[in-house]
Structure 1
Amino acid sequence: MNKDLSFGPDDRRENIRSIAEVAKLFVDAGIRYGVHFTLSCDRNIARSIIHEGEFIEVNVKCPLSECERRDPKVLYKKARAGEILQFTGISAPYEPPVRPEILIELDRQNGKRVSRPGPGLSNIIYTE
């Protein structure tokens, strides 16, 4: 949909806006749609486009080292080598949600991912 965009801030913002518009179409059709926004201002743009009560913010909390370990496309390695500029978590910022409706934390000690949702949402526990 936006294959000619870069990782730069202006292109990221346009990507977020268009993704939010597509998400709104899915929500209007009764289909749940998941997207990822790295900055709070981008989440606010998406929240303003998608109908109130239809935007559910989820934070999948994972250490950067684990993201790098699980990276099948080796994008983090390329970003660290300077081959990809403005890469989230390496040379571009990531702002975790302050009050997500759902928080999924990776617990390395017992191998479980636990969702701790906000009001009105039920707990979900997955075993890896």
Structure 2
Amino acid sequence: MAKVLGVGGIFFKSKDPNGLLAWYQQHLGLPRESSDYANFFPKMMPQGGCTVFSPFEDATTYFSPSESGFMFNLVVDDLDGALRQVRLAGAELVGKIASYEYGRFGWFLDPDGNKVELWEPSASE
């Protein structure tokens, strides 16, 4: 049987795709090799980081207050710094930072109103 080896991309609609990508490049340091997309290679992932594929129940409120049917998670090297950067760039922070044995999480709404989860993996992973 053929098997999935990983997530090959996150694709979604935006009213201003190039502007939204530029916002992420400027305020969260996404790679700038293109004005159309950003590549993340496995060697960029910190120890303890991974990609999660997790369908949620249709009635979930986890993505709230966004009205989008999806939420994406970005791994960051400094959660507090990343949240400060996006807040200063006009993003609305959502909820309180949550800490678990596998890392710390924070959330914001991007310029398109998408809820984004930031994850700083624990160094001990």
Question: Fold match, TM over 0.5?
Answer: no
TM-score of the superposed pair, with normalisation by structure 2: 0.27
Larger radius of gyration: 1
Q: Name whichever structure is richer in helix by fraction.
A: 1
TM-score of the superposed pair, with normalisation by structure 1: 0.27
